[in-house]
Amino acid sequence: MSNLVAVLPGDGIGEEIIEQAVRVLSALKLDLQLEKADVGGRAYDVYGHPLPEHTLALAKKAKAVLFGAVGDWKYDTLPREFRPEQAILGLRKNLGLFANLRPAILYPQLANASTLKPEIVSGLDILIVRELTGDVYFGTPRGNRRVEEGPFKGEQEGFDTMRYAETEVRRIAHIAFQAAQKRQKKLCSVDKANVLETSQFWRHIMLEVAQEYPDVTLTHMYIDNAAMQLVRAPKAFDVIVTGNLFGDILSDEASMLTGSIGMLPSASLNASQQGLYEPSHGSAPDIAGKNLANPLATILSAAMMLRFSFQNEEAALRIEKAVAQVLEQGYRTPDIYEEGTTKVSTSEMGDAVIAT
Ligand code: NAI
Ligand code: MG
């Protein structure tokens, strides 16, 4: 358990990008035991299921899962339970992964990739912590019913329930405060406490947990304002923590601030520092097998793995610094290429990271 990493490349560019991350990890000569297994469409082809039992067993036993991507158009007609995406949902559920961490980093060298003005986003480095298992997505009761009173009495309506239990808010709060401690020590909790009971409760628990982290500055912001500030002055944030619904929207908004999908890592954690680490992008079937994909999001996901599952901040920083350095040296895969830089392949990008 303690040093085991389940390596699940999956489909499309998964194999190519994971290979580079594994090479980088090996170059660091850490005490890690890497074990590979099939997942996604390729697992369906061989075993008849996108998350075969032996793959799930390996993931459960491991301290961390390093995941490539799953999916391909050729599986689009399968019944839902056999679709490649079910593998990620199955892993989240079985490992109890409730915290989704998505950094949005825009290296100064790539400032032109964003649709925002370089002075607003250049050097952006924020982290969004999204709760994954609660909120209006899963609250009950939900469904269809007859309206009993008011102007729409007698009609049918659709309804959901927004809810958060104390334990759910507490555990995501701890993850967010601890992440902030490793960064600028600024945490912004995003809610809609002016309107929602759920948000008032969320805010109350955040304030309680804050007592245990006196070195972190906690602020609160309403979701509508946060969505606006994220495009107006995103660099004012350090860590943002929020619920499932608001986090879904904010994390996609934040990823677009950077404009480079091939650069964004992510982590999904449970309470025992077990985690699944994967690039934010998909399996990119359009460029699969051509040695064109950008492996940096996956390499940066491996750095997050060392930080959060293995408490090896030093090795994580080493990888992150190497990535910044290869960009500084001008190496670019085609997705981030600009005139005046050096175009490299997937494996050459891996070589460059290892060489620095
Ligand atoms: P995508 O992220 O795979 O691709 C979108 C565009 O970005 C494509 O043009 C692709 O070539 C490019 N791109 C993505 N990653 C890149 C990289 N590392 N380097 C260079 N270019 C890159 O999203 P799309 O096309 O919507 O989905 C393709 C497949 O991936 C689908 O089957 C989808 O279900 C699956 N998917 C899987 C995810 C996962 O495994 N977590 C997440 C999102 C989508
Ligand atoms: Mg989304």
For the purposes of burial, counting CB atoms within 10 Å of the CB of 125, is it exposed (0-12), middle (13-18) or buried (19 or more)? middle
Answer yes or no: is the C-beta of 72 below 6 A from any ligand 1 atom.
Answer: yes
Q: What's the half-sphere exposure (Cβ side, CA atoms, 13 Å) at 16?
A: 21
Rounded CA separation 222/218 (Å) = 14
Specify the pLDDT at position 1: 53
CATH of the structural domain 1-97+266-356, one choice from 1.10.30.50, 3.40.50.720, 3.40.50.620, 3.40.718.10: 3.40.718.10
Kindly state if the Cβ of 345 falls inside 6 Å of ligand 1.
no
Tell me the whole-structure pTM to 2 decimals: 0.92
Catalytic position from the list 47, 137, 222, 337? 137
% of the chain at pLDDT higher than 90? 90
Q: Please name which ligand lies nearest the alpha carbon of 74.
A: 1
Residue 13 CA, distance from chain mean position: 18
Say whether 248 is catalytic.
yes
- pLDDT (0 to 100) of residue 115: 83
Residue 252 falls in the annotated catalytic set: yes
- Identify which ligand lies nearest to the alpha carbon of 254: 2
Question: Tell me, what's the pLDDT at 274?
Answer: 96
Q: How many angstroms is it from 244 CA to the middle of ligand 2?
A: 10
The two tokens of residue 42 are 């390729």
Segments of the chain with pLDDT less than 70: 1
CA distance 265 to 66: 11
In the chain, where are the structural domains located?
1-97+266-356
Give residue-wise pLDDT tens across range 124-163: 999 999 999 999 998 999 999 999 999 999 999 999 999 9
238 tagged catalytic:
no
The C-alpha atoms of residue 12 and residue 286 are separated, in whole angstroms, by 8
Q: Residue 67 C-alpha to ligand 2 middle, in angstroms? A: 18
What ipTM did this prediction achieve?
0.96
Centre of ligand 1 to C-alpha 16, Å, is 14
pLDDT at 73: 92
The tens digit of pLDDT for each residue in 156-193 reads: 999 999 999 999 999 999 999 999 999 999 999 999 99
Q: Is the CB of 284 under 6 A from ligand 1?
A: yes
Catalytic (active site) residue 38: no
